[in-house]
Structure 1
Amino acid sequence: MEDNMKVIFLQDVLPNSRAGDIKDVKNGYARNFLLPRELATMATAGELKRVESLRRDAEVRRVKEAEEWREVASKLAEVPVEILVRSGPRGRLYGSVTSTMLAQKLTEISNVAVDRRGIRFETPVRMLGEYLVPIHYFEGVDGQVVLNVISVDGGAEAAAMEAAMVEGVGGDGTGEMSLLEEFESRRIAREAKERGEEDDDDSGDDAESTKEE
């Protein structure tokens, strides 16, 4: 059986230990992890005199960190977070959006490392759309972000058209036609714009040829 070592924690090692705590831990855990990283020290008579000071200093750090995390949570709550994914024609993802993916995106936006373990999806994210995601950032600091899952391959438009058709079904069907016509008009406008740009390019080429002659 492995012997234990009594240590004083110099820093918080969440979720179970706080700076100033005096605990018996496994010898290997102390020597291979806690002591080399200066997260704890052996509970000698001299070190025991530092306990109250360690606890006070740790509480000051916690208050400061909590305030910093509140600012991060507030910033991330202001703007929807977009994640681009591949999806099928009905808006279903090829896979799902994971807590790791969202944590990486939040870290990019905030420049602060967001722990994926604090992200709490209420349901698996396997469809395009908007989701409200609760997040635990720090002790006493919780928030939520708006996640927009967007297709990178046209699946979003297809899903929107399908949703429009479903929404329009019923009654005299006028809702379906008006929504579908809106999508169709957008498509026609895009194609017309592309043709116009091509015509401009051709006109420029003709003018250049005439000038050379």
Structure 2
Amino acid sequence: MGKRMKIILRQDVLNLGEEGDVREVAAGYARNFLFPKKYAAPYNQHALTILGQRKKKIEKRKEEKRILAQGMKDRLQEEKLVFVMPAGDNGKLFGSITNGQIAEELQKKGYAIEKRKIEIPEHHIKMVGQYTATVKLYENEEAELNIKVEAQVQEKKEEKPRKTGRRERAAGKADVEHASAGTETAKTDAAAERAEAVAAPANGESPLAAEDEAGAADGAEGESEPSNS
């Protein structure tokens, strides 16, 4: 294990602490990063004296943070994040929702919260439904955030026209040919009727009427012959 040393933070450092906090860190981390950046000072009497002089200012800043955290808690508990995700018929998501995605949605609403401060059931959400996430704020302050996960509505695909099979195409062709034959027959009958109409006597009498007249004439001649008696 490497050598470690005590330090006093001169300002807030992410994942380490706030101004005035005493921490123990790796000596290399302190000398190569914290001290050159003036984020911290070695833990000694001189640093403790300076810390004592700044104690009131440090405490005032902490009180301001507490007030801000309380206000953020009240606002967060009024919020409700809604996620619309692709899901199966059983409600299982095609993917999952993580604390990183929740942090991104909160950022869109004006909240600057690190994802590591957001705790969700089983570290991720995999089903549609209602959930509650815990958001850790300043010191021991926490907020309960309501989350709703809905299934995305899938658009129905249009059914493609069914391809016609060989038998159906053959049957259709036969129907067309049958219809064509019927049309030709009708045309032939119509032509025959027109021919008969043309062959009729000019006076408009039908052939049957002409035969009746001829028969009547023969009968008249028979009656007019003189009797031999």
Specify the TM-score bucket, using the shorter chain as the normaliser. Answer: 0.5 to 0.7
Shift of 1:88: 1.5
What is residue 7 of structure 1 aligned with on the other side?
Answer: 7
Q: CA deviation at 1:2?
A: 4.4
Change (3 A) 1:5 1:56: same
TM-score (norm 1): 0.61
Q: 1:93: which partner in 2? A: 93
Q: 1:168 maps to what in 2?
A: none
Q: How far, CA to CA, are the matches of 1:23 and 1:146 in structure 2?
A: 35
> Is there any run of 5+ residues in structure 1 with no aligned partner, and where?
156-213
Kindly state the Cα deviation for residue 133 of structure 1 after the two structures are TM-superposed.
1.9
Query: Is 1:113–2:112 an aligned residue pair?
Result: yes
Q: Could you say which residue in structure 2 is the equivalent of 1:141?
A: 141
Specify the code of the residue in structure 2 equivalent to 1:121.
Answer: I
The aligned counterpart of 1:54 is 54
**Other-structure match for 2:132:** 132
Do the aligned partners of residues 99 and 10 (structure 1) sit closer, same or farther apart at CA in structure 2, a change above 3 Å counting?
Answer: same
Gaps of 5+ in 2: 156-229
Q: Flag the structure with larger Rg.
A: 2
Residue 54 to residue 25, structure 1, CA distance change in 2 (3 Å): farther
**Distance of aligned partners of 1:82 and 1:37 in 2 relative to their CA distance in 1, 3 Å threshold:** farther
Distance 1:26 1:96, change over 3 A: same
Letter paired with 2:127: M
CA RMSD of aligned residues (A): 2.7
After superposition, where does 1:49-198 map in structure 2 within 5 Å?
Answer: 49-109=49-109, 111-123=110-122, 124-154=124-154
Q: Which runs of 4 or more aligned residues in structure 1 lie more than 6 Å from their structure 2 counterparts after TM superposition?
A: none
How far 1:40 sits from its partner (Å)?
Answer: 0.6
Return closer, same or farther for 1:53/1:74 CA change in 2, 3 Å cut-off. Answer: same
SS at match of 2:73: helix
Percentage identity across aligned positions?
27
Measure, in 2, the Cα distance between the counterparts of 1:132 and 1:50: 44
- Distance change >3 Å, CA 140–CA 3, structure 1 → 2: closer
1:120 is matched by which residue type in structure 2?
E
How far the C-alpha of 1:99 sits from its partner, in A, is: 1.0
After TM superposition, give the deviation of residue 46 of structure 1 in Å: 3.6
CA separation in 1, counterparts of 2:24 and 2:140?
A: 27
Secondary structure of 1:113's counterpart equals coil
Cα drift, residue 122 of structure 1 = 2.9
Match of 2:202 in 1: none
In structure 1, distance between residues paired with 2:101 and 2:30? 33
**Alpha carbons 1:128, 1:150 under 8 Å: kept:** yes
Q: Secondary structure at the match of 1:84?
A: strand
Greater RCO, 1 or 2 (C-alpha within 8 Å, sep 6+) = 1
Change in CA separation of 1:5 and 1:140 when aligned onto 2, cut-off 3 Å: closer
Distance, in Å, in 2 between the alignment partners of 1:56 and 1:15 is 24
- Contact 1:8–1:20 under 8 Å retained in 2: yes
How far is 1:48 from its partner?
A: 3.0
Counterpart residue number, 1:184: none
